């Protein structure tokens, strides 16, 4: 019987912190070859700030930072309180692709894609390997990964009979980011992690290729942000010793300040503006390309440029971090990776794409519609007819 029409399947994999410059024929021969035979974007523009939770929200919702409200890996919401690398889906203020899929009875699955635990307005992924929704320490998020199990689970979902098989599968792999922070983005230890993922993906594809419907599967491989080598520490004791304003800080590259008191705000701003080491922006004057006007962003944001990074001088002697991200996405070091191939994608190359266009493009392939407006648009030029 040749009349069988199979449903489209999209596998979306995120390698946290993978830089386009790390995908070369020597380091990642398979990723390099697959990219050349599909959609080969020189790079993908991340959202501000170029950090993990912000950009996974942008990738999966098609919304800008101000639209999805995940303004940092740590921020304060006036009603809900503090967000700190929570995996709870509820924090997203914009419908994620998997929730739109579930709402339209299109099966979907997530292997620890950030913020797919709990539920989004009562909606859950069809299948999910979850992490606890609340974490006290940032590093707990990264203790839930086992690469072999992860590829095996994605394969198991693909093998399900059609009535159970998810059409959208999300996978998340954190180790390039982890090594990039610890050793720096171009260090051999970091490039070895990229090599490891390229090898693991080769094994995964070899197994997936045995499926009779393998040729129906579209693959989209992304990262959330790049990584810069931090070589110039900027002392934050200057800020935190004299000032008592509430702040949140997560990645060593920016700080959000929260105060309702106009006098305190002015005093803080005037104090911070005395120092040339950083940029200070009021909420009414955030750079336009940040798309950052959300109450969760706070009243003031302080940023530094690479290779500067923020660190307490008291903690500096113990510091073991060399790679940093979270900078303005206009810095080339922050550029993210994008590649896609499969029956719905053309063989084409282009200079760059925006990460907010990824979810709308996949939504178009899977015929999923979002329940409300968002800034991201399908990239029609990369889709085959």
Please work out, in degrees rounded to the nearest 5, the angle formed at the alpha carbon of residue 64 by the alpha carbons of 123 and 182: 90
* Nearest CB to Zn ion, comparing residues 129 and 336: 336
Q: How far is CA 90 from CA 93, 136, 150, 193, 354, in A?
A: 8, 18, 24, 32, 24
* Nearest CB to Zn ion, comparing residues 52 and 250: 52
Cα–Cα distance, 342 to 205 (Å, whole number): 13
* Nearest CB to Zn ion, comparing residues 111 and 341: 111
The CB-of-114 to Zn ion minimum distance in angstroms stands at 9
The CB-of-16 to Zn ion minimum distance in angstroms stands at 4
Cα–Cα distance, 15 to 238 (Å, whole number): 36
The CB-of-183 to Zn ion minimum distance in angstroms stands at 16
* Nearest CB to Zn ion, comparing residues 52 and 259: 52
The CB-of-17 to Zn ion minimum distance in angstroms stands at 5
The sign one gets for the Cα dihedral 96, 34, 9, 42 is positive
Tokens 């719905």 identify what position?
A: 344
The CB-of-223 to Zn ion minimum distance in angstroms stands at 8
Binding site for Zn ion (CB under 5 A): 16, 52, 177, 224
Cα–Cα distance, 172 to 197 (Å, whole number): 12
* Nearest CB to Zn ion, comparing residues 92 and 268: 92
The CB-of-138 to Zn ion minimum distance in angstroms stands at 12
Q: What string of DSSP letters covers 20-79?
A: GGG--TTT-HHHHHHHHTSEEEEEEEPPSS-SHHHHHHHHHH---HHHH---SSEEEETT
Q: Please, which contacts does 160-164 make with residues 24 or more away whose CB atoms are closer than 8 Å?
A: 162/6, 162/7, 164/107
Q: Are 250 and 73 in contact (CB under 8 A)?
A: yes
* Nearest CB to Zn ion, comparing residues 52 and 65: 52
The CB-of-250 to Zn ion minimum distance in angstroms stands at 11
* Nearest CB to Zn ion, comparing residues 221 and 245: 221
Q: Looking at beta carbons, which residue is closest to Zn ion?
A: 52
Cα–Cα distance, 357 to 347 (Å, whole number): 18
The CB-of-246 to Zn ion minimum distance in angstroms stands at 25
């Amino acid at each position: 019987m040749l009349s069988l029409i199979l449903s489209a399947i999209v596998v979306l994999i995120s390698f946290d912190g993978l830089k386009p410059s790390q995908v070369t024929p020597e380091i990642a021969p398979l990723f390099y070859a697959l990219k050349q035979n599909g959609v080969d974007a020189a790079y993908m523009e991340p959202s501000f700030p170029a950090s993990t939770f912000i950009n996974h929200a942008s990738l999966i919702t098609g919304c800008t930072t101000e639209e999805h409200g995940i303004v940092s890996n740590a921020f304060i919401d006036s009603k809900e309180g503090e967000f700190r690398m929570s995996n709870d889906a509820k924090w997203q203020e914009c419908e994620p692709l998997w929730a739109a899929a579930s709402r339209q009875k299109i099966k979907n699955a997530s292997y620890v894609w950030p913020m797919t635990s709990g539920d989004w307005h009562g909606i859950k992924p069809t299948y999910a390997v979850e992490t606890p929704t609340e974490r006290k320490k940032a590093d707990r998020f990264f203790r839930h990964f086992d690469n072999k199990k992860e590829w095996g689970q994605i394969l198991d979902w693909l093998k399900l009979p059609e009535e159970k098989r998810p059409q959208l599968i999300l996978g998340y792999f954190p180790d390039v980011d982890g090594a990039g922070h610890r050793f720096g983005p171009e260090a051999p230890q970091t490039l070895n992690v990229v090599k490891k993922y390229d090898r693991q993906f080769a094994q995964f594809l070899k197994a997936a290729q045995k499926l009779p419907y393998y040729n129906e599967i579209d693959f989209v491989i992304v990262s959330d942000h790049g990584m810069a080598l931090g070589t110039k520490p900027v002392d934050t004791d200057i800020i935190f010793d004299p000032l008592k304003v509430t702040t949140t800080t997560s990645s060593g590259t920016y700080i959000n300040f929260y105060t309702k008191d106009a006098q305190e705000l002015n005093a803080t701003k005037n104090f911070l503006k005395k120092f040339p080491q950083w940029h200070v922006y009021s909420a009414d004057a955030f750079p336009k390309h940040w798309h950052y006007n959300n109450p969760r962003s706070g009243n003031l944001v302080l940023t530094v440029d690479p290779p500067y990074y923020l660190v307490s001088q008291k903690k500096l002697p113990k510091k073991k971090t060399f790679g940093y991200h979270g900078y303005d996405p206009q810095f080339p070091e922050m550029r993210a990776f994008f590649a896609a191939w499969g029956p719905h994608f053309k063989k084409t190359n282009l200079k760059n794409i925006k990460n907010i266009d990824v979810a709308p493009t996949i939504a178009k392939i899977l015929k999923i519609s979002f329940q409300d407006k968002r800034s991201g648009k399908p990239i029609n030029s990369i889709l085959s007819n």
